[in-house]
Amino acid sequence: MIRGPRVVNMTSAKSSCSVCAEEMAAHNEATCDNCGRAYHLNQRMDLPGKDCGQVWINEDHLALEFACNTCLNSAPAPGNLDDVLDAGEASHLTGMTEDALRQAAEGGALRHRRTGSGVYLFERRDLDPLIQGRR
């Protein structure tokens, strides 16, 4: 059996930034203490680079702490209590009267919940179309 030349595929050992997904150089790499993923952090003043996170001194432990922008600017968890508004808060946010919001909810045009005591509750994301229509 005759075989052709052996082809070896080599992959790059360079890592990519967990924040921007761009390739990183060794002088521009740090590991987030929170999530453990690599991110851009320019550690040399004499070489160009970008920062996709921060480093600071923890004065309690006298140690450097590293954090990527994803962990530093994390979005609130879904279902955050601040995202649930009663009719009065929704009225203030949308510019609609409470009665108009109740009518929209009862007519099926606006998703809502109603408590046992009759209070109408709305999620902020469901009010976004009404807010944007106001702008």
pLDDT, one tens digit per residue, over 23-72 is 988 889 999 999 999 999 998 888 888 899 999 999 988 999 999 999 89
Q: Tell me: pLDDT of 10 over 80.
A: no
Alpha carbon distance 71, 37 (integer Å):
10
Tens of pLDDT along 73-113? 876 666 667 788 999 999 998 889 999 999 999 999 999 99
What the block records as the tokens of 44 is 């040399």
Residue 127 CB-density burial (10 A; 0-12 exposed, 13-18 middle, 19+ buried) = buried
Residue with tokens 């993923």: 37
In this prediction, residue 65 carries a pLDDT of 95
pTM over the 0.85 mark: no
In this prediction, residue 75 carries a pLDDT of 67
